[in-house]
Structure 1
Amino acid sequence: MRSLIRQGADVNAGDVGGFTPLHDAAREGHTEIVKLLLDAGADPNAVATEAGDQTPLLDAIGSGSIETVKVLLARGADVRGNDDAGWLPIHEAASRGTPEMVVALLEAGADVNARDAGNETPLHHAVARGTSQAGSVQIVRLLLDAGAELNAVDYQNRTPLHAAVATIDPSAELMRLLLQAGANPEAVDRHGHTVQDLARMNDNKMAPAMLTRALATARRDTGRSR
């Protein structure tokens, strides 16, 4: 890469999808190459217009490299740059990233209640990932501590609690966190479904028991705090 740059290669040249070398390096989490490209004038906010409007920052989050994410943020990557589904970096991090990425984005000014094209917030995305991915509980706590709206509704009028119950990987712990923070267990979506309805409809047959356990724990803890 250094040799190509010395020979005058255009560091902002895009391929057929609009991906630049910076996109590629960020996607692989190659932090040193990212630094090299940025030093050579690569645009940290280049948009792959023929490939879902991906930005290097979105790609870096997907790579799992917090170092790459931090370098891009320090060099001017826009936390408000979204893809064609309206996903901002904070949505990407809440859905597939790490707690450290969420912290870095919030510190860089990301909106904890930003909406994507489906009117979903980062909290909707975070609870939908369940607990099979490491860091899910911590990410939900971080978002709540940062002021995430507990009862924000998406295009289906579903709250984060609806999302937590309906996901294919439901978690009683995430449900409990939302309920203890004040999520409305009686909220109804645009189809008239309550969280109890969605639990029964979930292909994961443990969902109803998880919700029942989370509700009982939240009520008990609320009673203790009075």
Structure 2
Amino acid sequence: CSMENAASLECGGLEVEVAQRAFLACAQAGRLDDMLALASRLPELVRSTDPVNRWTALHVAARNSDVRMLGALISLGAEVESRDAMFRSALHFAARADGIPTRSRVASGTAAGSSGAVRDGGDGGDGGDGGAVSGGEGGGEDGREDSREDVGLSGGGGGLSAPSPSTASRAQAMLACLRALLKAGARVTARDQFGFTALHHASQAGHAAAIEFLLSLNSSMRLARAPIEAETNAEERPLHLAAAGAHNGAIRCLLEHGAHPCKTNYLGQTPLHLAVAVGDQAAAVAAVNLLCQRQWKVDVNAAAADGRTPLHDAAAAGHTAIVRALLRAPNTTRLRGGRAVDVYLVDRSGCTAAQIARANGFEDVAEVVEAHAQGEREREARAEREKADALVQGMRQVRLNAAEQRRARATASHGSMSVVHEGMDEAGEEESEEAREGGTEQEIEDEMDYAMGDGMGDGMEEGMEGQAEVRQM
């Protein structure tokens, strides 16, 4: 059968257009046997797409984390890089993994169980199956989701039976789908029409296991790992999307892999701005506390394009718990060191966080911010007083130390003078002893002078007298 005239031709008694919808419905419901039966009769169904959202059966299986279905489709020749109406591949769907296999059977009131009629159940753009196989004589007329007992077990036996339970968890199945698609040639860097990669989809859905897997491909599968700082069309990185959903496991995983916590989107918003916008939910408060930990060095005073800090946004929305979390958070920017959130910063309109809160009718939030500001002023004044007291005490201690040193030097000098006097007394006693024994030093010197001077003079006089006597003779 030709796909071009699928609406008019029949192949084995089953219209091709109807078979396409039935094929996608089987993929959505997890009916592998029925899908394989249809594929054996019309092999081109494996690559067929929904006429509205352009989904293939591979997209549906990846979205539902149906490993068996996905593996069978790949083995039948499904195109792993096929794109839907929003240019999303099966890898994007596998990373998001937000589909739930249905057990519904939508039938018209006049459908017969033996005919296996199919009625269009919508385009499936928001998670629908894009059509469903009727339950034959057991088909319901209300179009509601049937219970496990109703589906395929009652009626004429023409309905969809419940899929067999999987022994693996959803996270394990999701990782298995990602691994199978990558082995089949899917590109981890592929983007949809919004600039989302598979890592963006996993981050927005909060799948920490998928994030860890995609960021470890270089070691686990020897493939290039997902780009952690890839930007969407709105200049948002995976961390922005994880923070916007308050997915704390995803936030921590991205931060531990080196995601920059202060990058901004096209509005100048950091991931902290987006986490604050979630509200006073427990997960959002935990996300704010996580992002503000010292080890990530987040600037809690970072201003967006409108001049608003995260505190401005929280105060403007009346998020009391978020405001308290921000007021407790440290700020450890590299240039300014550690300091707390600045409650006096103003936005482009010249308003502080407290003024914005009061203008929006959140008086309690304004009081919280102002009480924190008053406490900060008191702490600063107390710190200044303590600093001045410490300075005075230090000067006193310096003076005391100097006085102690002077006293020590004086004591040492007095001791040395006493030693000198004692030495002089001892020397005098020794000289007295010598004088008593052999005369005084003066007598000794007189004798030496006589020997050197007077003695030599007498000798010279006697010599001259002798010479005179010789001349007379």
TM-score, length of structure 1 as denominator length: 0.86
Give the superposed CA RMSD.
2.3
Pair 1:184 & 2:326 matched = no
Are 1:179 and 1:215, in contact at CA under 8 Å, matched by a contact in 2? no
Are 1:150 and 1:178, in contact at CA under 8 Å, matched by a contact in 2? yes
Q: Which residue of 2 aligns with 1:58?
A: 200
What's the CA shift for 1:215? 4.2
Unaligned runs of 5+ in 2: 1-69, 99-173, 218-224, 331-339, 384-473
CA distance in 2, matches of 1:93, 1:183: 23
Q: How many pairs were matched up? A: 218
Instruction: Check 1:97–1:21 CA distance in 2 against 1; reply closer, same or farther (3 A cut).
Output: farther
What's the CA shift for 1:214? 4.6
What's the CA shift for 1:116? 0.5
Instruction: Check 1:215–1:130 CA distance in 2 against 1; reply closer, same or farther (3 A cut).
Output: farther
Letter in 1 for 2:324: R
CA distance in 2, matches of 1:32, 1:64: 17
1:93 to 237, 242, 246: 242
Are 1:11 and 1:41, in contact at CA under 8 Å, matched by a contact in 2? yes
What's the CA shift for 1:220? 4.4
1:68 to 187, 200, 210: 210
CA distance in 2, matches of 1:128, 1:44: 30
CA distance in 1, matches of 2:75, 2:176: 16
Q: Deviations over 1:139-177 (max 9, x none)?
A: 21221121111211111011111111123xx33232123
What's the CA shift for 1:101? 0.8
Pair 1:113 & 2:262 matched = yes
Pair 1:24 & 2:93 matched = yes
Unaligned runs of 5+ in 1: none
CA distance in 2, matches of 1:114, 1:127: 16
Q: Which residue of 2 aligns with 1:210?
A: 365
Which piece of structure 1 moves more, 213-222 or 78-87? 213-222
What's the CA shift for 1:216? 2.2
1:6 to 75, 82, 92: 75
Secondary structure of the residue aligned to 2:348 is: coil
Letter in 1 for 2:95: A
CA distance in 1, matches of 2:278, 2:238: 16
TM-score, length of structure 2 as denominator length: 0.43
Letter in 1 for 2:359: M
Instruction: Check 1:130–1:108 CA distance in 2 against 1; reply closer, same or farther (3 A cut).
Output: same
**Over alpha carbons, which structure has the higher Rg?**
2
CA distance in 1, matches of 2:309, 2:369: 16
Which piece of structure 1 moves more, 139-148 or 9-18? 9-18
Q: Deviations over 1:59-110 (max 9, x none)?
A: 1122232222222222212111121111111111111141111111011111
Structure with larger RCO (C-alpha < 8 A, sep 6+) = 1
Are 2:354 and 2:369, in contact at CA under 8 Å, matched by a contact in 1? no
Pair 1:45 & 2:189 matched = yes
